[in-house]
A = this chain, B = another copy of it.
Amino acid sequence: MPDYVPHLKLTHEGALKMLAAGIAKAQAMGQPQCITIVDDGGHLLAFVRMDGARVLSIDSSRKKAMSAASGRTPTGQMAAANELKLALATDGKVTNLLGGVPVIVDGHTIGAVGVGSGTGEQDLEVAQAAIAALEGARAF
């Protein structure tokens, strides 16, 4: 096994492209959103709170993005029996709310997007639109 291996890294250009696609989708559906883009460590890369989005969705969109980056799967797929226990065991960092989707390119998880302020389904749809803006990113 080598000591280090090739990886991919999401750029701020890529993150801003995701943001723009998410905004366009949110505007098209008439639901202002908080959109958070994080890197593979869950650290903030780019963010926007659209006019009319909820101020507390700053937090929830971040948690969705962190959870998707960490779990390498969209949020909302966790067993119901575990979701609150995992949230509590991670000081609220893990959430199973709909709206978090990982950015996976060539098998590498390089970040995630989290969206909040709409219904869970709206949040997920905006997250999917953000992912679709990145060429080569796996669709969910």
Contact = CB atoms under 8 A, between A and B. Distances in A.
A64 B56 CA distance: 12
Copies of this chain, complex-wide, total: 4
Contacts of A89: 59-60, 63-64, 87, 92, 95, 97
A40 interface: yes
A16 B24 CA distance: 14
B12 A51 contact: yes
| Most B Cβ at <10 Å: residue of A56, A58, A63, A70 | A56
A69 B55 contact: yes
Interface in A79-95: 82-95
A58 B41 contact: no
